[in-house]
Amino acid sequence: MNRIVEKFAHLKAAGKKALVVYIGAGDPHLAATRDLALAFDRAGVDVLELGVPFSDPLADGLVNQLAAQRGLESGTTPPKLLATVTEIRKESQIPIVFYIYFNLIHKVGMAQFIADAAKAGVDGLLVLDLPPEESDNYEALMRAAGLCNIYLVAPTTPEDRMASIVKRGAGFIYYISREGVTGMQSQIATNLASQVAKLRAHTNLPIAVGFGISNPAQAKAVASEADGCVVGSAIVNQIAEHGKSSDLAARLGAFAKAMADAVKSI
């Protein structure tokens, strides 16, 4: 069974919610990405999203744009990142999702990229700029490889389109809780409960909520409404601040554990 599907099924059976953590791959370098993945696994993170560095990350705010830039500067490429996933798989079975822009897949060739990702131990792809309406071949290739094609739903998505998107997704639905790009926020969206309820009317897939979750209290509040929460910019910001520290993995592991403990306390 796919690790993402297995993880959410296990959490549901236990009555628990998921913590999904996002980091920019190769920030500050790929050895750190490996160490952080292992630290997050030990800290209780349920799913790890790795942002594949790209020169024009349109969905991202400044914090994650700078992480992508640092990843490019460290020499991170998709093949090198896949090799890092292979290294992570020697020690951890944490579910891994690539948060990626389609140009990076297209350059390699869709079938080849998906096959390479599956072989390395990737569990799902979240392609930011591939609309579901244009992804028939992509979805078929992903299913054949045993990978989850994860889709985004925004607050501005009309309900009829929302219904069609979630029917095509796999693994979980990533609900963007705010309009705009990624980034830390001082409070969670006020209409979160009603939006999650609207999604649940159209799918049995788990719903993970992201964009703007910055601290354990917010993570707990979001997870109380959804099946999980995604924490990205708040962690990426810590990497930006402490990337050169020898205790980076331990420091970020402790930060993630506080989030995981809050989510699991529901």
CATH of the domain at 111: 3.20.20.70
Number of domains in the chain: 1
Q: Are 19 and 44 in contact (CB under 8 A)?
A: yes
**What are the two backbone dihedrals, phi and then psi, of residue 214, each rounded to the nearest 5 degrees?**
-120, -15
DSSP 88-112: HHTT----EEEEE-HHHHHHH-HHH
* Predicted local distance difference test score (pLDDT) of residue 177: 82
User: How far apart, in whole angstroms, are the C-alpha atoms of residue 186 and residue 208?
Assistant: 19
**Integer Cα distance of 258 and 193 in angstroms:** 23
Torsion of CA 53, 164, 116, 78, to 10 degrees: -10
Q: State the residue range of the domain holding 201.
A: 3-264
- 133 as an active site residue: the answer is no
Q: What is the pLDDT along the chain (266 residues), one digit of tens a residue?
A: 899 999 999 999 999 999 999 999 999 999 999 999 999 999 999 999 999 999 999 888 899 999 999 999 999 999 999 999 999 999 999 999 999 999 999 999 999 999 999 999 999 999 999 999 999 999 999 999 999 999 999 999 999 999 999 999 999 999 998 655 454 454 566 789 999 999 999 999 999 999 889 899 999 999 999 999 999 999 999 999 999 999 999 999 999 999 999 999 98
Catalytic status, residue 41: no
Q: What is the pTM of this model?
A: 0.96
Closest among 234, 227, 238, 214 to 263, alpha carbons compared:
227
Annotated active-site residue in 27, 41, 46, 49? 49
Query: Looking at residue 59, what is its pLDDT?
Result: 80
Tell me the residue type at 132: P
Q: Annotated catalytic residue: which of 41, 60, 87, 225?
A: 60
Angle formed by the axes of helices 233-242 and 62-73, to 10°? Answer: 50
Residue 52 CA, distance from chain mean position: 11
